[in-house]
Structure 1
Amino acid sequence: MYELIQVSEMSYYIQSPAKIGLVKLNDTDVCLIDSGNDKDAGRKIRQILDANGWHLTAIYNTHSNADHIGGNKYLQGQTGCKIYAPGIECNFTRHPILEPSFLYGGYPCKDLKHKFLMAQESDAEYLTKDVVPDKFEMINLPGHFFDMVGFRTPDNVIYLADCLSSRETLDKYQIGFIYDVAAYIQTLEMVKSLTAKMFIPAHAAATANISELAQYNIDKVYQIAEKMIDICSEPLCFEIILQRLFADYALTMNFEQYVLVGSTVRSYLAWLKDTGRLDVEFENNMLLWKRI
């Protein structure tokens, strides 16, 4: 873990629970794409930088999930590097309490305020085309989270953040976190058409061909959607729908999984309603979801 792996002349990644991109800008300067999940990740990154005599100029956060921004504060304090995050993600990065609050739908209890859902705050600035390194391409990847982006480097390596999951993860857990299902599918359809020397997804193996895995992720979305439509053959409240999904997929409920999977299930339900496949009714002061 935290091994530095070179994939092209200037592009690397650091193997970690969420892969961290590292790109050489010249003989001494490098930038990071994300920073890992906590201060310890930051320390290990700093050790890699020091061992290679590299100076960290900036961290470009793809999005604001805690496992991608957790090393920001430590690395910024140690190196004085700039931190950039796109759109709404910048606000979540500056104010990490927003992530567990968003997932829970209210003020989060202490069980949800830990490093896996709430990173330390860092002094992020808005990520725009004007601040990315020369000849970098910023790629919009909405769906998994609000304003997530990826990057194509000058030597044609694409960092894909969390826009897809590995087959193994999907087969084990079935329901990957998604904020906007429609945008997620559109993003994956776009990703299928991309070509590059190498693709670096944060939660799947590096590969020279991403199309097949992107399609596998798309297919999984539609499978989950059909499952929810079948469950809603009778009007049911959200909690029962969630319970049945956990039971059918042999998932284990805890507070963290309740908010992560629960938020995703609500996103699916909203998408299915907006696309005319589910509707709602109110009965005995309960919101019930039902198949049309």
Structure 2
Amino acid sequence: MYELIQLTEQTYYIKSPANIGLVRLEGQEVCLIDSGSDKDAGRKVRQILDRNGWTLKAIYNTHAHADHIGGNRYLQGQTGCRIYAPGIDCAFTRHPILEPSFLYGGYPPKDLRHKFLMAQDSGAEVLTAEALPEGFESIPLPGHFFDMVGFRTADDVVFLADCLSSREILEKYQVGFIYDVAEYLHTLETVKGLQARMFVPAHAEVSENIADLARYNIDKVLEVAEKILTLCPEPRCFEEILQGLFAAFAMKMDFQQYVLVGSTLRSYLAWLKDAGRVQVVFEDNRMLWQRVCSL
């Protein structure tokens, strides 16, 4: 882990639980794409910089999940680098309590206020086109989180953040976190058609062709949606559907999985309701979900 791998003359990635991009700029200056999960990840990145005599100019965050911004504060404190994050995700990066609060739907208990869901705050600025290095392009990748982006480097390497996962991860966890299902599917269709010299997903192997993996991720989303529909042939409350989803995919619930899968289930239900495939009924002061039977 935390091995520096060169892809092109300018572009590298640091192999880690959430792959980190590293791009050489002018002279000995470099920038990072994401910063790892925590202070320890930041230290390992700093060691790589020091071994190569590189100076960190900036960190470009793809989105505000803790495993992508966790090294921000340490690296900014050590190097004085600037940090950029896209749109709404910039607010989450500056105020990380927003992530567990969003997932829980209120003030989160201590069980959720840990480094896997709540990074340390850092001095992030809103990502703009003017803030990008010469030759860089940001690629909108919404769906997994609010305003997630990827980046295409000057030498045509595309960093894809969390817009798709490896087959192994999907087979292990089954239900990947999604904020907006409609946007997520649109993003996957867009990624399926992208061309680049190399693709670097955060949670899958580097590849020259990403289309097949994008298709697999699309199929998994549709599989989960169909499973949810089978769980509410009659009016069912959210907790019953969530319990059924955990059972159907042989998942084990804990506090973290409850909020991650629970938030994702709510997003699926919203998407299915907007598409007219489920409806809501209110009985005995309970909101119940029911599949809409097609004729």
TM-score, length-normalised on structure 1? Answer: 0.99
Can you list the C-alpha shifts for 1:188-209, whole angstroms capped at 9, x where unaligned?
1000110111100000000000
1:159 counterpart SS class: strand
- C-alpha distance in structure 1 between counterparts of 2:138 and 2:283, whole Å: 47
Equivalence for 2:276: 276
Are 1:16 and 2:16 an aligned pair?
Answer: yes
- C-alpha distance in structure 1 between counterparts of 2:198 and 2:38, whole Å: 27
Equivalence for 1:35: 35
Residue 24 of structure 1 deviates from its aligned partner by 0.5
Can you list the C-alpha shifts for 1:232-289, whole angstroms capped at 9, x where unaligned?
1111000010001111111010000000000000000000000000001011111100
1:84 counterpart SS class: strand
- C-alpha distance in structure 2 between counterparts of 1:50 and 1:27, whole Å: 15
Can you list the C-alpha shifts for 1:118-172, whole angstroms capped at 9, x where unaligned?
0000000000101000010110000000000000001000000000010011111
1:117 counterpart SS class: coil
- C-alpha distance in structure 1 between counterparts of 2:229 and 2:120, whole Å: 39
Equivalence for 1:179: 179
Equivalence for 2:223: 223
Equivalence for 2:170: 170
Equivalence for 1:83: 83
Equivalence for 1:291: 291
Equivalence for 1:203: 203
Equivalence for 2:259: 259
Kindly provide the amino acid, as one letter, of the partner of residue 253 in structure 1. M
Equivalence for 1:119: 119
Equivalence for 1:132: 132
The percentage of aligned residue pairs carrying the same residue is 71
1:288 counterpart SS class: strand
Equivalence for 1:56: 56
Can you list the C-alpha shifts for 1:72-92, whole angstroms capped at 9, x where unaligned?
000000000000000000000
Which consecutive unaligned segments of at least 5 residues does structure 2 have? none
Can you list the C-alpha shifts for 1:24-49, whole angstroms capped at 9, x where unaligned?
11330100000000000000000000
Counterpart mapping for 1:62-81 below 5 A = 62-81=62-81
- C-alpha distance in structure 2 between counterparts of 1:26 and 1:132, whole Å: 13
- C-alpha distance in structure 2 between counterparts of 1:258 and 1:68, whole Å: 21
Residue 58 of structure 1 deviates from its aligned partner by 0.1
- C-alpha distance in structure 1 between counterparts of 2:37 and 2:253, whole Å: 22
Kindly provide the amino acid, as one letter, of the partner of residue 17 in structure 1. P
Following TM superposition, the consecutive aligned residue runs of length 4 or more in structure 1 with deviations greater than 3 angstroms are: none
- C-alpha distance in structure 1 between counterparts of 2:270 and 2:8, whole Å: 42
CA-based RMSD:
0.5
- C-alpha distance in structure 2 between counterparts of 1:264 and 1:215, whole Å: 20
- C-alpha distance in structure 1 between counterparts of 2:279 and 2:12, whole Å: 47
Are 1:232 and 2:228 an aligned pair?
Answer: no
- C-alpha distance in structure 1 between counterparts of 2:109 and 2:15, whole Å: 32
- C-alpha distance in structure 2 between counterparts of 1:140 and 1:248, whole Å: 33
- C-alpha distance in structure 2 between counterparts of 1:61 and 1:143, whole Å: 16
Equivalence for 2:109: 109
- C-alpha distance in structure 2 between counterparts of 1:249 and 1:281, whole Å: 26
Which consecutive unaligned segments of at least 5 residues does structure 1 have? none
TM-score, length-normalised on structure 2? Answer: 0.98
- C-alpha distance in structure 1 between counterparts of 2:202 and 2:65, whole Å: 12
- C-alpha distance in structure 2 between counterparts of 1:135 and 1:58, whole Å: 15
